[in-house]
Amino acid sequence: MTRLNWIEAADPVALTRQCELAGVARATVYAHQQARPVPQEDVTLSHLLDELYTAHPFYGTRRMVVALRQRGHTVNRKRVQRLMRNLGLAGMAPGPNTSQAHPGHKIYPYLLRGVSVTRPNQVWSTDITYLRLPRGFVYLVAIIDWYSRKVLSWRLSNTMDAAFCVDALEDALKLYGAPEVFNSDQGSQFTSEAFTGVLKAHEVRISMDGRGRAFDNIFVERLWRTVKYEDVYLRGYATLGELTVGLADYFSSTTPSVCTRVSAT
């Protein structure tokens, strides 16, 4: 087994760190991954999982297996678990392992329980979702303002590395200044020192969803549903370039739904 086979894009450990530990250049890893195309059946199942999850985010792997079998696909739970793990999906129901946390990263407490969000730049939030393409998929990260629901910045990536999340954060800070509180889940991208270090440098208070509290970050989850049903599913983008241009048009033309008062629960 070569050192390249040690590298897994879906691993909770950041891809950059895996490359350092294995002594392999990132460019070599990307070239190796591109040389191993995802089986078309996995792509088809991943697209179906994406649609099912968007419509029913509370579905776990057992219900996903039932739903896929009802659509004529013979799958077992182990395969669905692998595909959902690769997509970064987890059922939004109380229980363990609802996010891909890193055991070596610091977890911050949830700071927004009972807090009324009454002004822009009071609370920002972020999350990652999966977007389908005909021959594969990419990941989208977005940063939104809780009060205005405005998408402040976003990035696309073909891996779950923390780098594209950091890029989106730095872009939002540059354009809009720093919020008082930044909320995220406990995913390894957001607990990484690269990400939290940027927040600390700008003196932003860090808040993270508790285990089993999937609805702490409900505003971003609603955004994903809207983006997919109003744009991605309808347009059926064929390439990453088309998707990038399409999302840029969508986010720039969509007027945020402004709420006069939001209470965090």
| pLDDT tens digits, 130-154 | 888 887 788 999 999 999 989 999 9
Q: What is the mean pLDDT of the chain?
A: 79
pLDDT given at position 14 = 64
Q: What is the CATH number of domain 116-263?
A: 3.30.420.10
The reported pLDDT for the residue numbered 102 is 47
146-176 per-position pLDDT tens digit: 999 899 999 999 888 889 999 999 999 999 9
What does the pLDDT average to over 230-239? 88
- Which range scores top for mean pLDDT: 53-62, 70-79, 100-109, 202-211? 70-79
Residues 32-45 have a mean pLDDT of 71
Interval 7-24 mean pLDDT? 58
Per-residue pLDDT, averaged over 233-238, amounts to 88
In sequence order, the 6+-apart residues with CB closer than 8 A to the CB of 263 are 114, 115, 116, 117
Can you tell me the mean pLDDT for 31-53? 76
Please count the residues of the chain.
265
Backbone Cα Rg of the chain:
18
Minimum mean pLDDT among 22-31, 72-81, 198-207: which range?
A: 22-31
Judged against a pLDDT cut of 80, whether residue 119 lies above it is answered with: yes
% of the chain beyond a pLDDT of 90:
37
- Between 55-64, 117-126, 160-169, the lowest mean confidence (pLDDT) is in 55-64
Report residue 165 as tokens.
Answer: 């999340």
* pLDDT at site 173: 97
Q: Are 101 and 186 in contact (CB under 8 A)?
A: yes
pLDDT at 244: 93
Residue predicted with more confidence, 159 or 111: 111
**What pLDDT was estimated at residue 195?**
96
Of the pLDDT bands very low, low, confident and very high (cuts 50, 70, 90), residue 178 is: very high
pLDDT of 264 higher than 90: no
20-29, 129-138, 180-189 — which is least confidently predicted?
20-29
Across the range 86-112, mean pLDDT stands at 63
